[in-house]
A and B are shown apart, each in its own frame.
Chain A
Amino acid sequence: MKKGRYGIYGGQYIPETLMNAIIELEAAYNHYKKDESFIREFNSLLAEYAGRPSRLYYAKNMTENLKGAKIYLKREDLNHTGSHKINNVLGQVLLAKKMGKTRVIAETGAGQHGVATATAAALLGLECEIFMGKEDTERQALNVYRMRLLGAKVHAVTSGTQTLKDAVNETFREWSTRIDDTHYVLGSVMGPHPFPEIVRDFQSVIGREVKEQMLEAEGRLPDVILACVGGGSNAMGIFYEFIGHPEVRLIGCEAAGLGVDTDKTAATMATGRVGIFHGMKSYFCQDEYGQIAPVYSISAGLDYPGVGPEHSYLKDIKRAEYVPVTDKEAVEAFEYLSRIEGIIPAVESAHAVAYAMKLAPTMDKDKIMVINLSGRGDKDVAAIARYKGEDIYE
């Protein structure tokens, strides 16, 4: 396969101003990913600071209640900062520091990636600025304060739909004004090469741990793995180790919003077509003229009109399946997991839980399912309460 390509997907579609920055990043990454001391430092941060390995928890109550496959939860919600985002961020901020950068910038949707980036920047002593859609700063006001508390400057992005896509636009714009001392910590397996590869590699620790933990617990690999997909970093992180094991079904759950037959949806695989945007060729929600569609999901983290290029490739070669999950189903799953296991999932992760609730009962009891619980739901409590008609504000 061509460098930076996944089948026809991927590539480097960015303005000339940024090309040398991307080339410099690629060279640095190719060097440090083989550098013993970098690897040691990264692994030590994952263990000592992020709290890895995260637990693979047997969800006994859920399993008994659904009367089907045996369900395990990969507890990325227990990581420091409350989601899988910390894995990638520690890697990238460490890489930025090795490259001599003194400042990091990042986009954020739900705020998890922004909080994680601000955290890593605080730890490693880099300046940090976060770009967040204005609508998201309102949906996730507490995370905005968290980032500030961690020493980051937060910019509310008022262009376009004022959500994740616009935050990415603005971070690219900011990067093109200041490249020498600044690294863009992209938060998902998307954007121009080498970002999809870097983020996947840093997140692939999730799948490697699952494999080891599953072999220990059950002596075999799981039958199915579920993860939510916006850009797709937690899904790529848990899928990657299993791509070469075709007996393991990989299912990505995307945000259908009010439904894939409405225009209030963010289900890129179900409703999009191939396009080129944000530096990559992949599937995008767009109109007949290639204008990027305004998308919608209750989940700020999945409210994105595209998907990482490797996911598009996995879909085309039918190695992974992608299914839409509505707001309503996700909120039901949010409440269900809270009550049945005492675990409040991020509303993003609740999309994967929702599909598990449909799939598990159709599977035999000797089958094994793993759900990537990519984040914790504390940040979503007020929004879900409002969705349910309760007048609660943060």
Chain B
Amino acid sequence: MNRIERAFSNGKAFIPFITAGDPTIEVTEKLVYKLADAGVDLIELGIPFSDPVAEGSVIQAADVRALSSGTTTDKIFDMVKRIRMTCDVPIAFMTYVNPVFSYGADRFMRNCKEAGVDAIIIPDLPYEERDEIRPYCNKHGITYISMIAPTSKERIGNIVSDAEGFIYCVSSLGVTGVRQNIGLDSLEMVRSVKSVKNIPCAIGFGISTPEQARAMAEISDGVIVGSAIVRIIERHGNECIEPVIDYVKSMLAASKDKS
């Protein structure tokens, strides 16, 4: 069982997202240890990008903070290497296609392997263009995570047949960010995925309350929470670890809640 499979073997998975380097690489590293201790199943680690077109204002601002604190792809690889000396929490990178392409996809995935990154999520690399990056994931054993959206409809068949690890289900239209109402299409999406292949489905975009986490966990295999955590980091800066962990614990409990 690889680390991504393990992430979905402990009941419903709870997957927090944080932007690496927000507010600094040092704080991110500490957060990863604490999140792992808290029992999260997988950590989605954002490599900041200057122009994150799939992100709402909260994560955009996190990318700006991370880049202005001097975060680079190489510094993030170094951080993951340090983390892997003592911690084996599953880690997926989330970034845009240009930071990977520009770095050299082969070199990028080789470094992922060496550092101990398990998977990669690239929101601006749709199914039709996956050959740009995916062959290098296969070559170096990095799990390539596919996304589906409420608009995917008849595309789900192709995307899922080809998918590995888990499916990232985008809960609703638009970009990342906290929403009042989510999930109208999620159940339908998860059903469509499962009718193609038995692969774990994690739902993300817009989830911020324990009630939402519980509801989404009920209809899927995992819950991804980003903007709500990043907002706490934004508010507390270097002192964010305790409030983030408190919040994550409540969301984790709700996601795992089987009642």
State the A residues within 8 Å of B (CB): 11-21, 159-160, 165-166, 169, 172-173, 176-179, 273, 275-279, 284, 286, 288-292
By a CB distance below 8 angstroms, the chain A residues around B132 are 11, 13, 276
Are A286 and B102 in contact (CB-based, < 8 A)?
yes
Report the minimal beta-carbon distance from A14 to chain B, rounded to whole angstroms: 6
CA distance A276 to B98 in the complex (A): 5
State the B residues within 8 Å of A (CB): 49-51, 53-54, 56-57, 60, 64, 67, 72-74, 97-103, 123-129, 132, 147-153, 155, 159, 170, 173-175
- By CB atoms of chain A within 10 A, which of B56, B67, B149, B150 has the most? B149
Report the minimal beta-carbon distance from A107 to chain B, rounded to whole angstroms: 12
CA distance A173 to B54 in the complex (A): 7
Report the minimal beta-carbon distance from B136 to chain A, rounded to whole angstroms: 14
Are A13 and B175 in contact (CB-based, < 8 A)?
no
Partner of B99, one of A179, A279, A290: A290
By a CB distance below 8 angstroms, the chain A residues around B159 are 16
By a CB distance below 8 angstroms, the chain B residues around A159 are 57, 60
Are A177 and B152 in contact (CB-based, < 8 A)?
no
Are B50 and A12 in contact (CB-based, < 8 A)?
no
Are B101 and A176 in contact (CB-based, < 8 A)?
no
Given contacts A13-B126, A276-B101, contact A289 B151 (CB under 8 A): no
Closest Cβ neighbor of B48 among chain A residues: A291
Closest Cβ neighbor of A277 among chain B residues: B98
Complex A-B: 18 CB contacts under 8 Å: A12-B129, A16-B123, A16-B149, A16-B152, A16-B155, A17-B150, A17-B151, A159-B60, A160-B50, A165-B51, A169-B53, A176-B54, A273-B102, A289-B73, A289-B74, A289-B102, A290-B99, A291-B50
Partner of B175, one of A176, A276, A278, A291: A176
By a CB distance below 8 angstroms, the chain B residues around A20 are 151-153, 155
Are B151 and A173 in contact (CB-based, < 8 A)?
no
Report the minimal beta-carbon distance from A27 to chain B, rounded to whole angstroms: 13
CA distance A206 to B192 in the complex (A): 48
Are B98 and A17 in contact (CB-based, < 8 A)?
no
Are A290 and B103 in contact (CB-based, < 8 A)?
yes
Closest Cβ neighbor of B67 among chain A residues: A291
Closest Cβ neighbor of A159 among chain B residues: B60
Are B148 and A173 in contact (CB-based, < 8 A)?
no
Are B51 and A290 in contact (CB-based, < 8 A)?
no
CA distance A173 to B170 in the complex (A): 14
Q: Which 5 A-B pairs have the closest CB atoms?
A: A290-B102, A177-B174, A17-B149, A290-B98, A290-B99
By a CB distance below 8 angstroms, the chain B residues around A177 are 173-175
By a CB distance below 8 angstroms, the chain B residues around A19 are 126-128, 151-152, 155
Given contacts A165-B51, A172-B53, A275-B98, contact A16 B126 (CB under 8 A): yes
By a CB distance below 8 angstroms, the chain A residues around B128 are 12, 19
By a CB distance below 8 angstroms, the chain B residues around A290 are 49, 98-103
Report the minimal beta-carbon distance from A204 to chain B, rounded to whole angstroms: 26
Report the minimal beta-carbon distance from A212 to chain B, rounded to whole angstroms: 38
Are B170 and A275 in contact (CB-based, < 8 A)?
no
By a CB distance below 8 angstroms, the chain A residues around B103 are 289-290
By a CB distance below 8 angstroms, the chain B residues around A173 are 53-54, 56, 174-175
By a CB distance below 8 angstroms, the chain B residues around A286 are 98, 102
CA distance A253 to B108 in the complex (A): 35
By a CB distance below 8 angstroms, the chain A residues around B149 are 15-17
By a CB distance below 8 angstroms, the chain A residues around B53 are 14-15, 169, 172-173, 278
Closest Cβ neighbor of B72 among chain A residues: A289
Q: A16-B149, A17-B151, A169-B51 are in contact. List 7 more A-B contacts (CB 8 A).
A: A16-B147, A16-B151, A19-B126, A19-B152, A160-B50, A165-B51, A277-B51
Closest Cβ neighbor of B104 among chain A residues: A290
Partner of A276, one of B60, B73, B97: B97
Report the minimal beta-carbon distance from B202 to chain A, rounded to whole angstroms: 15
CA distance A278 to B53 in the complex (A): 8
Given contacts A14-B124, A16-B170, contact A292 B155 (CB under 8 A): no
By a CB distance below 8 angstroms, the chain B residues around A172 are 53
